[in-house]
Structures are given as C-alpha cells and as structure tokens.
C-alpha cells in the first residue's frame, strides 16, 4: 500500500480526530494498464440499445453513449463500430 498523507487527512488532524482508514482496492497500477491493453485485443461484438453502443465480447462489457442521432450499422476491419448520422 502506498504510504502518503492524503490532503484531507490534515483536516481530520486539525479537528483532533483520527482520519479514516483506507483499504487497497486489490489491484495495482500495472494490473490496470494490463487490463486496458487486453481490452483492445479482443474481437469486438458491438450492440446498440437506445443511445448507447456497447461491446459484450472480451472479459467485461464496455461501451459509450453515441447520442440519439447516430445508428450502429456494423464494424470496420479493425472491429471498431461504424456509425451513421440519422
């Protein structure tokens, strides 16, 4: 766990109370970077529901809000979504 004084802790100390204890979220910065890189390596399967497109392939679902003025029409050769203005 990284040992550093969080800015807010100074406020607790001025008030004369113990700052809250913090727990690690169980994942390191390196793990986060690795998961981000892995997310881009799978074959995307894009779906649209309302203004959202999302990919259900890979280890976890991810997506984005594309708005109500765009429609998902398919994917390009790299597996990225192809959207058309409506």
pLDDT tens-digit profile of 41-73? 778 889 999 999 998 887 778 899 999 999 999
Check residue 40 and give its pLDDT: 66
Is pLDDT above 80 for 11?
A: yes
Calculate the alpha carbon distances from 38 to 42, 62, 71, 80 in Å.
7, 13, 27, 15
Nearest to 70 by CA among 50, 56, 44: 50
Between CA 1 and CA 63 the distance in angstroms is 31
More confident residue, 25 or 57: 57
Is pLDDT above 70 for 17?
A: yes
pTM, two decimals, is: 0.52
Between CA 58 and CA 43 the distance in angstroms is 8
Other beta carbons less than 10 A from residue 81's beta carbon:
20
Check residue 3 and give its pLDDT: 54
């Amino acid at each position: 766990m990284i040992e550093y004084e969080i800015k807010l802790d100074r406020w607790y100390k001025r008030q004369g109370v113990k700052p809250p204890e913090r727990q690690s979220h169980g994942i390191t910065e390196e793990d986060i970077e690795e998961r981000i890189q892995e997310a881009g390596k799978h074959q995307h399967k894009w779906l649209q529901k309302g203004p959202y497109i999302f990919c259900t392939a890979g280890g976890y679902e991810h997506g984005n809000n594309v708005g109500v003025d765009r429609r998902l029409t398919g994917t390009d050769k790299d597996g990225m979504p192809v959207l058309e203005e409506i």
